[in-house]
Amino acid sequence: MKIKPLYDRIVLEPELVQEKTKFGIVLPELAREKSQMGKVVAVGQGGALDGANNKIQVEIGQRVLYSKFAGTDIKVDGKEFVIVRQTDVLAVIESDENIEVGGEDE
């Protein structure tokens, strides 16, 4: 990776967006929602935020859940990434289970 995030920022590789509903209906590209899960590929060094020194709580390689509209999308060598602030990371996913976000019925 040729990019190093600063301060409390984290670079994530988003998981692939679901192309089919659980009933097998293929979704057109415009109807697909942005992924909210990704793999941590780079982290900043932390830093002061609101007068407190913030330590980065995630590690490279972890799978995380992040806010739906968080971050800045970028491309590096043709691969897509998203840069988020640590406060936009909602949880570390500690299993390989299939997790659905939003709970909407299809």
Task: Tell me if 105 is assigned to some domain.
Answer: no
Number of domains in the chain: 1
CATH number at residue 35: 2.30.33.40
- The total number of residues shown for the chain amounts to 106
Name the nearest CA neighbour of 38 among 76, 68, 77: 68
Task: Tell me if 71 is assigned to some domain.
Answer: yes
At 19 the pLDDT is: 66
Residue type for position 45: Q
Residue range 56-80, pLDDT digits in tens: 999 999 999 999 888 999 999 999 9
SS3 61: coil
Task: Tell me if 43 is assigned to some domain.
Answer: yes
Which residues constitute the domain of residue 17?
9-93
At 75 the pLDDT is: 92
Between CA 35 and CA 99 the distance in angstroms is 11
Q: What pTM value is reported for the model?
A: 0.76
Task: Tell me if 79 is assigned to some domain.
Answer: yes
Task: Tell me if 34 is assigned to some domain.
Answer: yes
Task: Tell me if 18 is assigned to some domain.
Answer: yes
